[in-house]
Structure 1
Amino acid sequence: METQTSSFITTGDGVRLAYRFDGAPEKPVLLLSNSIGTDLHMWDGQVPALTEHFRLLRYDARGHGASGVPTGPYSLDRLGRDVLELMDALGLQRVHVLGLSLGGYVAQWLGIHAPERVDRLVLANTAAYLGAAPQWDRAISELLGAPDMRTTAEMFLRNWFPAHMLEANDGVVEAFRRTLLATRREGVAGSWAAVRDGDLRRTVTLIRNPTLVIAGEHDTVTSARHGEEIASAIPGAQFRVLPAVHLSNVERPAEFLDAVVTFLVQQG
């Protein structure tokens, strides 16, 4: 199996994006797109199982991980074009796409604006719209005015994981805390702006790629209702609810992997 450390491309607007491949080159490519406040390592626990079936392409979204952190705001169009430029640079014409949270927004954008570049879509713990601008403007202002990421990091963790994982000082939770504390505030704020300005409720109906929507039963960020609305809007979409909060791939890895792999290896 091919495994490599991160490599880089530079986008058309001059931002360096980190990416890596895992898995055998002859297998179909599955591109993974991350949530706000994480990097490509949010999928580490799923890599062994997924590489049995796919060549994984993971990347750090702008503002996160080893990628560049341009000043915001970011737009959903720009985040989507980042993926297309990454695929172009790597000579990939068509891939499966799995996106979680903000990554699910990006995956929806790809299905709407570049369906010919996508085979199957998995939209996990995401929404087509997450509320009016004032709430996001307030959050962005408070974050950029804060001395560091500590308060925001704890807010993210409470939104991502069930209480028993937080109270147990779970090692997985601590790894995500370290990533959050190392993330530049400008990257989170810029990404929140993309969510603020992203309303896909009308255009998501244009998606014709085979689609699986995964929601968390206990998700307070992107609720099961948000997932159901997406699945209802996309013709033929499948819908699966897991007994999870927001990072369903981490909290319920076995059920998550079963749903994803079963859907992606379907024929026809």
Structure 2
Amino acid sequence: MNLFNHQSGKYISIDTASIYYEVAGTPGKPVLLILHGSLGSLEDLNPVLTKLAERYRLVGIDSRGHGKSSMGSSRLTYERLQQDAELILHHLHIDKLSILGFNDGGTVAYRLAAYSKLKVEKVVTIGARWHYKNADYLRVMLKGTFDHSWKEKFPAVYNSYYKFNPTPDFDMLTQALVKMWLDPGSSGYPSFNLQRYTSPLLVIRGDNDHLLSLTAVAELCTLLPTAAFLNVPFAGNDAHNTQKEMIMLALEGFFTKVA
């Protein structure tokens, strides 16, 4: 069963964008915000949400320019995505929550934990960068444009994007993402401001993740005494897809047993 399905959601207007979100899980339970990664949608974390749906009211957001959400005229930044999430939560009268974020969604989760006035009780990230220096290698990888190569390498992602998005422009989105990934300023990664967050954190990384180094995660876990680390064998950046059972066990233990 797909908890998020791009059928039962609503839209909220933020500046010139229309941001799509869905609410699933169990009404009246604590809130768990679900944030997907780059070029994905709110459906991406469905594989590991079944048991969490029994314990949480789940709020999933299609990030600006992704899924059913339009891009709008604002510059795409991690700060902008953080603000979009805050406005949706305010619209839903939510001020206390936990967060599960994958890839770029995990970076937004870090920003919410570091900067938001919301009460963030627990955070789990999967394959998420937290510091600008974590993205240094991207300068080499992304010297050229990546439009047709991405279409050819990830046809399912490309087709899904054009299936859902109301104003699709894949090349514009990928170019905006590159700028966001390489943003060295205050609108980008939270970096050492993450020290402001003192509640439980679980950092998940696939052992073969070429987008997030083991060194980067080790530094984060040294920085935050409340952080736990799961390095998942035989998995890349999307460990929740390739090692679903292991991730589900880790999430259930973290959300039910860690105080």
TM-score, normalization by structure 2:
0.84
What do residues 17-60 of structure 1 show as CA deviations (whole Å, max 9, x unaligned)?
11111112122111111110101111222232321221211110
Residue 177 of structure 2 is matched in structure 1 by 191
How do residues 85-234 of structure 1 correspond to structure 2 at under 5 angstroms?
A: 85-114=87-116, 116-129=118-131, 130-132=134-136, 135=139, 139=142, 142-143=145-146, 149-155=147-153, 157=154, 175-176=156-157, 178-179=159-160, 184-197=170-183, 198-234=188-224
Letter in 2 for 1:186: M
Q: Decide which moves more: 114-123 or 74-83.
A: 114-123
In structure 2, the residue matched to 1:235 is 225
1:163 paired residue number: none
1:191 to 1:75, Cα distance in 2 relative to 1, 3 A: same
Query: Aligned partners of 2:81 and 2:30: how far apart in 1?
Result: 23
Aligned to 1:251: 242
Matched pairs, number: 244
Distance 1:267 1:208, change over 3 A: same
In the alignment, the residues of structure 2 paired with residue 233 and residue 242 of structure 1 have an alpha-carbon distance, to the nearest angstrom, of 21
Q: In 2, distance between residues paired with 1:154 and 1:98?
A: 30
Q: Structure 1: how far apart are the matches of 2:152 and 2:215?
A: 25
CA shift in 2, pair 1:134/1:177, >3 Å:
closer
Partner of 1:16: 18
Q: CA deviation at 1:228?
A: 2.2
Could you tell me which runs of 5 or more consecutive residues in structure 2 were left unpaired when the two chains were aligned: none
1:7 corresponds to 2:10: yes
1:193 maps to amino acid? K
* Larger helix share, 1 or 2: 1
1-structure distance, mates of 2:209, 2:112: 24
User: Identity percentage over the alignment?
Assistant: 22
Q: How far apart are residue 63 of structure 1 and its match?
A: 0.9
Structure 1 residue matching 2:55: 3-state secondary structure: coil
TM value normalised by structure 1 = 0.81
Per-residue Cα deviation, 1:122-150 (whole angstroms, up to 9, x for no partner): 121112233349828x838614xxxxx44
Distance 2:118 2:246 in 1: 29
Q: Check conservation: 1:63, 1:190, Cα contact below 8 A.
A: no
Give the whole-Å Cα distance in 2 for the aligned partners of 1:9 and 1:113. 22
> What value does the CA root-mean-square deviation take over the aligned residues?
2.7
Q: Which residue, out of 83, 86, 102, partners 1:84?
A: 86
Change (3 A) 1:115 1:222: farther
- Partner Cα distance (2:205, 2:68) in 1: 28
Q: Does the 8 A contact of 1:125 with 1:222 survive in 2?
A: yes
Partner of residue 35, structure 2: 33
